[in-house]
């Protein structure tokens, strides 16, 4: 029996033994943003010999996730990735019947940490999302070909942003930010500002673009509602709600970033004369929701509208005078009742009610029982993400109901949050 097992093992390794002297190949990695975060979704291979009739079951993919900072749980450090299907393609993964490259599509899902090249962990004195080493070994079982070196990385939508801008504010601080400019002949374009959550600070704008799928504001399905729109995604060096002493403010103390952030926006608008100054929209989630409301409170006549998810600004620190000052600013809130991080009864629910009581006519609130799988792939309404993740409904442009459950309407027609936002004008 042992001889049979040994023979089977040697036979299965024969292709690799025969190719032992061949140099391993390289692969391109495609990192895609999903509702739950980024994942390595595709691999693009350059076979050293043509693979006839490639089949997903002919490939083995192994991943090793590591970092010199923070910690990765042992169960999330290494393992096998499943290949769903393969197809011939060009070097960028575009399907081609006679393409010289081969693309492997990998299985991804919300409960598969091995799929992500980003890890939430503590580095220094704060927790956040950070890029990690993501090393793959891909083997073709029939030919013995191996690929184990990354040659390039493709990040759909993220690659359409300029990631280089830096804004220095009075020599006190420098903010990184990403910008997207649409290809259009229109002379006046709106500006969409997205402010990230507490875990996406730092100096690498790819983190807020991918950490919670903010890059989707540059997607065709959202851009079409605006006829093309500038998008900027500023990044706090730490977190937007940082007070002077390094602690969290919830509106009770001044944060250290709002003045610099507003100056960044003003500079960007001044440098891009094609921006319609009557159509500047600000939104964000959690920490970024706090900062969005902070900017609206500080500059109620500047923004055409706000779109805020998982608001972290505490109601008790918003005065009646402040409520009155912003009652005419169109705002669409998105939140989940089971959000244990930004508890709705302490934040968005009383603020929304006070705005309505003050006479606000164009304030809406999509209030969900749970944050669920909007794709239907992982259980639909029966699959619950953490309640804090209500920004999913904004990024995917699926928020469409008001606080009472009725559809939000514009000129008598039901609209989504982005359709509504695109129609707002100062």
Report how far Cα 406 is from the mean position of its chain's Cα atoms: 28
Give tens-digit pLDDT for 53-74: 899 999 999 999 999 987 899 9
Q: What's the mean per-residue pLDDT of the chain?
A: 93
Q: How far apart are CA 234 and CA 212, in angstroms?
A: 14
Q: What six digits make up the tokens of 290?
A: 């706090």
Nearest to 142 by CA among 47, 36, 284: 47
- Strand segments (E) across 244-387: 275-285, 305-309, 331-336, 363-368, 371-372, 384-385
Residues 341-379: tens digit of each pLDDT: 999 999 999 999 999 999 999 999 999 999 999 999 999
97 within 8 A of 4, measured Cβ to Cβ: no
CB-based contacts of 299, cutoff 8 Å, min separation 6: 262
Domain ranges of the chain: 2-154, 158-422
Collapsed DSSP state (helix, strand, coil) of residue 219: coil
202: left (phi over 0), alpha (psi -120 to 50) or beta: left
Q: Which of 15-24, 54-63, 253-262, 348-357 has the lowest mean pLDDT?
A: 15-24
pLDDT at 338 over 50: yes
What pLDDT was estimated at residue 44?
98
pLDDT of 16 > 50? The answer is: no
Phi then psi dihedrals of residue 386, to 5 deg: -55, 140
pLDDT tops 60 at residue 200 = yes
C-alpha of 269 from chain center? 24
Measured in whole angstroms, the distance separating CA 226 from the mean position of its chain's CA atoms is 20
Q: Provide mean pLDDT across the span 296-322.
A: 98
DSSP state of 408: P
Average pLDDT, integer, range 219-237: 97
Q: Supply the DSSP string of 244-261, one letter for each residue.
A: TTSSB-SSSS-BSSHHHH
Helix (H) / strand (E) containing 127: strand 126-131
Contacts for 51 with CB less than 8 Å, ≥ 6 apart: 58, 102, 140, 142, 143, 145
| Structure tokens that stand for 114 in this block | 């091995």
Residue 307 CA to chain centroid, in angstroms?
16
Expressed in angstroms, the distance from the first to the final Cα of the chain is 80
Mean pLDDT of 393-413: 97
Of the given ranges (4-8, 31-35, 179-183, 414-418), which has the lowest mean pLDDT? 4-8
Question: Whole-angstrom Cα distance, residue 249 to residue 239?
Answer: 10
pLDDT tens figures, 137-173: 999 999 999 999 999 999 999 999 999 999 999 999 9
Average pLDDT, stretch 404-418? 97
Rounded to an integer, the average pLDDT of 278-303 is 98
Is residue 338 within 8 A of residue 387, CB to CB? The reply is yes
Per-residue confidence (pLDDT) for residue 22, from 0 to 100: 58
Q: Please return the burial class of 142, using the count of CB atoms within 10 Å of its CB with bins 0-12, 13-18 and 19+.
A: middle
Q: Report the SS3 class of residue 411.
A: coil
Vertex 361 angle, CA 360 and 366, to 5°: 90
Using an 8 Å Cβ cutoff, are 402 and 420 in contact? Answer: no
- Mean pLDDT, residues 260-274: 98
Residue with tokens 């794709």: 375
Among 175-179, 184-188, 216-220, the least confident range: 184-188
pTM: 0.93
Asked if residue 148 lies in contact with residue 136, where contact means CB atoms within 8 angstroms, the answer is yes
CATH superfamily of domain region 158-422: Alpha/Beta hydrolase fold, catalytic domain (3.40.50.1820)
pLDDT above 70 (res 423): yes
Query: Do residues 143 and 15 lie in contact, with contact meaning Cβ atoms separated by under 8 Å?
Result: yes
The domain 2-154 is classified under which CATH number: 3.50.50.60, 2.60.40.2180, 2.60.40.1260, 2.60.120.10? 2.60.40.2180
Q: What angle do CA 34, 38, 39 make, to 5 degrees?
A: 100
Instruction: Compute the Cα dihedral for 110, 114, 119, 123 and give only its sign.
Output: positive
Which 3 state secondary structure label does DSSP give 288? helix
Q: What is the pLDDT of residue 185?
A: 79
Quick one: which H or E segment has residue 6? helix 2-18
Confidence bin at 4 (pLDDT 50/70/90): very low
* Residue 269 burial (10 A CB sphere; 0-12, 13-18, 19+): middle
Q: With 50 as the cut, is the pLDDT of residue 1 above it?
A: no
- Rounded CA gap, 141 and 58, in Å? 5
Return the exposure string of 222-237: e unless at least 16 CB atoms fall within 10 Å of the residue's CB, then b. Answer: bbebbebbbbbbbbbe
């Amino acid at each position: 029996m042992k001889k049979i097992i040994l023979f089977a093992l040697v036979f299965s390794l024969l292709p690799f033994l025969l190719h032992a002297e061949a140099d391993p190949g390289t692969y391109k990695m495609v990192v895609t943003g999903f509702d739950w975060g980024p994942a390595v979704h595709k691999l693009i291979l350059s076979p050293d010999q043509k693979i006839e009739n490639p089949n997903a079951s002919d490939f083995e993919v192994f991943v090793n996730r590591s970092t010199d900072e923070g910690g990765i749980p042992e169960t999330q450090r290494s393992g096998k990735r499943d290949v769903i299907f393969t197809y011939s393609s060009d070097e960028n993964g575009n399907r081609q019947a006679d393409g010289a490259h081969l693309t492997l599509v990998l299985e991804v899902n919300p409960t598969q940490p091995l799929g992500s090249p980003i890890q939430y962990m503590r580095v220094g004195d704060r927790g956040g999302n950070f890029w990690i080493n993501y090393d793959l070994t891909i083997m073709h079982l029939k030919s013995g070909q191996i690929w184990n070196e990354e040659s390039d990385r493709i990040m759909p939508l993220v690659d359409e942003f300029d990631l280089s801008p830096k804004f220095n504010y009075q020599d006190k601080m420098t903010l990184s930010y990403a910008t997207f400019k649409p290809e259009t002949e229109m002379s006046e374009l709106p500006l969409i500002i997205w402010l990230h959550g507490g875990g996406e600070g730092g100096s690498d704008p790819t983190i807020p673009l991918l950490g919670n799928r903010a890059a989707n504001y540059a997607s065709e399905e959202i851009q079409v509602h605006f006829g093309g729109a500038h998008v900027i995604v500023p990044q706090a060096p730490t977190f937007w709600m940082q007070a002077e002493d390094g602690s969290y403010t919830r509106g009770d103390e001044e944060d250290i970033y709002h003045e610099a952030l507003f100056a960044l926006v003003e500079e960007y608008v001044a440098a891009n004369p094609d921006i319609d100054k009557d159509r500047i929209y600000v939104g964000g989630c959690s920490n970024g929701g706090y900062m969005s409301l902070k900017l609206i409170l500080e500059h109620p006549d500047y923004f055409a509208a706000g779109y805020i998810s998982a608001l972290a600004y505490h109601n008790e620190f918003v005065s009646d005078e402040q409520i009155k000052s912003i009652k005419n600013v169109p705002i669409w809130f998105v939140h989940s009742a089971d959000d244990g991080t930004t508890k709705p009864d302490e934040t968005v629910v009383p603020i929304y009610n006070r705005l309505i009581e003050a006479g606000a006519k164009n304030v809406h609130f999509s209030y969900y029982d749970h944050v669920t799988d909007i794709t239907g792939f992982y259980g639909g309404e029966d699959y619950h993400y953490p309640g804090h993740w209500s920004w999913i409904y904004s990024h995917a442009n699926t928020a469409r109901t008001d606080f009472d459950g009725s559809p939000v309407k514009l000129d008598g027609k039901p609209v989504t949050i982005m359709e509504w936002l695109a129609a707002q004008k100062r």
